[in-house]
Structure 1
Amino acid sequence: MRIVIIEDEIFAAEALQKIILELRPDTKIMARLASIEEAVAWFGSNEMPQLIFCDIHLSDGSSFEIFKEIEIKSPVIFTTAYNEYAIEAFKVNSVDYLLKPLKKEEILKAIEKYEELKQDKLSEELQNLQNLLQTQMGSNSGNNTKSRFMVKSGQSIKTISSKDVAYFQAEEGIVLLVNFKGNRFAVNYTLDQLENQLDHKTFFRANRQLIVNIRAVKEVHPYFKGRLQLKLDPASEKDHIISSSKASAFKEWLDL
């Protein structure tokens, strides 16, 4: 198998190469590239690899610029320390999307996924992902209210209807979608963006960390200084407080 690694951190690139060669000793690492400029030049004058491992954040910008500059047909496994690029990654020839720090077992699963996907099946899966993206974008054209969200679940992407979302919760720089089964998925939106895209009859921006579905409000308790405390279903690990300035609007939303 011929592989190219695009990674601007030398130690990270060396560690990834070591793991790949441990997992697949017959692999040829064709190149280790550290920037958009270097990658565009290399792909413009060399044979395409069978697989690319590509970090999203490079020293001179986002690696997505590489795929805008030059046509690359090789499948890609993206790596990043951030999770907000999952949807954009699947617009390219993405087989998988791995969050740093990379784990050997996750790299193995990604390689096995690539190996299991024969070229025709790979093309079919990528086309299905692109169709799903187009369907989602089309469903929102001319309408600010989102009806569904795409999330990464294991090795695949699934859609979740807005009506199945209990709440969105910001947590350590990540926005999580929590459905009514209590499952949590990272989404590629900020709470500010979601506030403008959700049905305000169904969802309420409770505070800077929470947008809640009316069906997920289990109990409301008076709190200090005119504030309100929410109990959610499914339960949240955090206590969610509504400020006194929002309390009246929240009660009106609940039709209390």
Structure 2
Amino acid sequence: MNELRVVIVEDEPATARNLIRMLQDIDKRILVEAKLTSVSEAVVWFTANTTVYDLVFMDIRLADGLSFDIFNQTMIDRPVIFVTAYNDYALDAFKNNGIDYILKPFDQQEIGKALEKYKRLTGAGAPAPDRLPLKELAEQLLQLKKNYRKSFLVHYRDKLIPVESAKVCWFYTANEIVYAHVADNRQYVIDLTMEQLDKELDPEVFFRANRQFIVNRAAIQEVNFYFNGRLSLKVNPETPEKVLISKARVPEFKSWMNK
């Protein structure tokens, strides 16, 4: 691969630094032309710099709005790899149309695979990818984003009752059973896996803390420092065991809490 000029659009400094480190570990010839932190800054930069970059790594949610707003205000005609916390199968639309995405927290292997895909799509003799315009893809994703699960129909005693997703304080798995815990300390068995919940819940409201817990933003009362760079969450109602955020996910969690 010849010199690759990259632009990073990411409002979380730690995430941007981590991405740059991984890119340069993969290939020293990768040059970061710009680090942009907001929609407004990106619009100004891309308008003034139309040909000085080859590839864009872009977070979907920025401090001043969704990155899709950038495409409505300026032209980006280079490949874009979205680096995002949106864990939604609908994002396959991007992959199917020659654009990739990487879920946070990402690792070097995922970054490497995305770069390999970029090289395949843009290498000598490669056919031009048959893809929809970025604006149209963005509209597809925004439409699908509105369809996050609103409620669950759960067994309670001898009947079925609806439970609103937003009223669940935290989801917890133990012995391959998933529970939904609400504010009045009632607990219901949910007939979904944690992975399925992670895809179906609104990421603005819920955060996958670890393999055992998905927590509602409204239930978090305190965030405490824990051993080895981790964080411990105090939530209400209280959980059966500590809710810990790993060191690797701390930047993502802080960014989520600050939005």
Of structures 1 and 2, the one scoring higher in RCO (CA 8 A, sep 6+) is 2
Q: Is the 8 A contact 1:5 1:54 kept in 2?
A: yes
Q: CA RMSD in A?
A: 4.0
Q: Does 1:50 align with 2:8?
A: no
Q: Does 1:209 align with 2:140?
A: no
Give the match for residue 37 of structure 1: 40
| Change in 2 beyond 3 A, CA 1:35/1:53 | same
Counterparts of 1:30 and 1:240, CA distance in 2 = 47
| Percent of paired sites with the same residue | 39
| Change in 2 beyond 3 A, CA 1:114/1:59 | same
Q: Is the 8 A contact 2:60 2:83 kept in 1?
A: yes
Give the match for residue 59 of structure 1: 63
Deviation per residue, 1:110-162 (Å, 9 max, x gap): 1111111136857434249999x8xxx9xxxxxxxxxxxx9xxxxxxxxxxxx
Moved over 6 A (4+): 128-131
Q: Does 1:124 align with 2:129?
A: yes
Give the match for residue 196 of structure 1: none
| Change in 2 beyond 3 A, CA 1:73/1:54 | same
Counterparts of 1:44 and 1:128, CA distance in 2 = 18
How far apart are residue 36 of structure 1 and its match? Answer: 0.7
Q: Is the 8 A contact 1:84 1:189 kept in 2?
A: no
Counterparts of 1:32 and 1:129, CA distance in 2 = 21
| Change in 2 beyond 3 A, CA 1:189/1:49 | same
Give the match for residue 198 of structure 1: none
| Change in 2 beyond 3 A, CA 1:62/1:190 | same
| Change in 2 beyond 3 A, CA 1:88/1:72 | farther
Q: Is the 8 A contact 2:60 2:67 kept in 1?
A: yes
| Change in 2 beyond 3 A, CA 1:54/1:94 | farther
How far apart are residue 58 of structure 1 and its match? Answer: 0.8
Moved more, 82-91 or 55-64: 82-91
Q: Is the 8 A contact 1:2 1:51 kept in 2?
A: yes
| Change in 2 beyond 3 A, CA 1:126/1:8 | same
Unmatched 5+ stretches in structure 1: 138-149, 151-185, 193-207, 212-221, 230-235, 242-256
How far apart are residue 209 of structure 1 and its match? Answer: 3.0
Q: Is the 8 A contact 2:71 2:134 kept in 1?
A: no
Q: Is the 8 A contact 2:91 2:101 kept in 1?
A: no
Q: Is the 8 A contact 2:71 2:135 kept in 1?
A: no
Give the match for residue 3 of structure 1: 6
| Change in 2 beyond 3 A, CA 1:188/1:83 | farther
Unmatched 5+ stretches in structure 2: 162-175, 179-188, 192-259
Give the match for residue 141 of structure 1: none
Q: Is the 8 A contact 1:3 1:30 kept in 2?
A: yes
Give the match for residue 227 of structure 1: 159
Q: Is the 8 A contact 1:77 1:110 kept in 2?
A: yes
Q: 2:48 is paired with a residue of what secondary structure?
A: coil
How far apart are residue 237 of structure 1 and its match? Answer: 4.5
Q: Does 1:76 align with 2:80?
A: yes
Q: Is the 8 A contact 2:6 2:53 kept in 1?
A: yes
> Which amino acid in structure 1 is aligned with residue 147 of structure 2?
Y
| 1:1-256 correspondence to structure 2 within 5 Å | 1-46=4-49, 47-84=51-88, 86-87=90-91, 90=94, 95-118=99-122, 121=126, 123-127=128-132, 189-192=147-150, 208-209=151-152, 224=157, 226-227=158-159, 237-238=177-178, 239-240=189-190
Deviation per residue, 1:151-179 (Å, 9 max, x gap): xxxxxxxxxxxxxxxxxxxxxxxxxxxxx
User: What is the TM-score with the length of structure 2 in the denominator?
Assistant: 0.51
Q: 1:98 is paired with a residue of what secondary structure?
A: strand
